[in-house]
């Protein structure tokens, strides 16, 4: 079940297989997906879906203010992914989004 982590090293959620991931690990994974894909929104959505599918999708949907079906459709690419959904999913996973100057 997903829960808000108190620190960066505290487990943020557990998958069905019992594997715990910290917000730091989640952030590294998502950052890697964004860097490798060149910022492709579909890749980010797929990565987010893989992280929340094994956990409590209902809780994540509640944080996003969406029905579970809508959240799943957006992350699966069957509905337009909104920034609010990305931000809410990140918040539910215990991570945030930052902007930095890109190297040219």
pLDDT of residue 19: 53
Per-residue confidence band for 61, with pLDDT thresholds at 50, 70 and 90: very high
Tens-digit pLDDT profile for residues 3-31: 444 445 544 444 444 454 789 999 999 99
Residue 94's nearest CA partner among 51, 32, 54, 65 is 51
pLDDT of residue 65: 95
Average pLDDT, the chain: 82
3-class state of residue 11 by DSSP: coil
pLDDT of residue 54: 65
Q: Which two tokens stand for residue 74?
A: 């957006």
pLDDT of residue 87: 96
């Amino acid at each position: 079940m997903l829960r808000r982590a108190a620190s960066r090293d505290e487990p943020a959620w557990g998958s069905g297989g019992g594997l715990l991931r910290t917000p730091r690990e989640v952030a590294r994974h998502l950052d890697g997906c964004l860097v490798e894909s060149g910022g492709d929104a579909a890749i980010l959505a797929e990565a987010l879906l893989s992280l929340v599918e094994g956990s409590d999708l209902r809780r994540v949907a509640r944080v996003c203010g969406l029905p579970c079906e809508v959240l799943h459709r957006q992350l699966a690419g069957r509905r337009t992914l909104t920034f609010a959904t990305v931000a809410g999913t990140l918040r539910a996973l215990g991570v945030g989004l930052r902007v930095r100057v890109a190297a040219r």
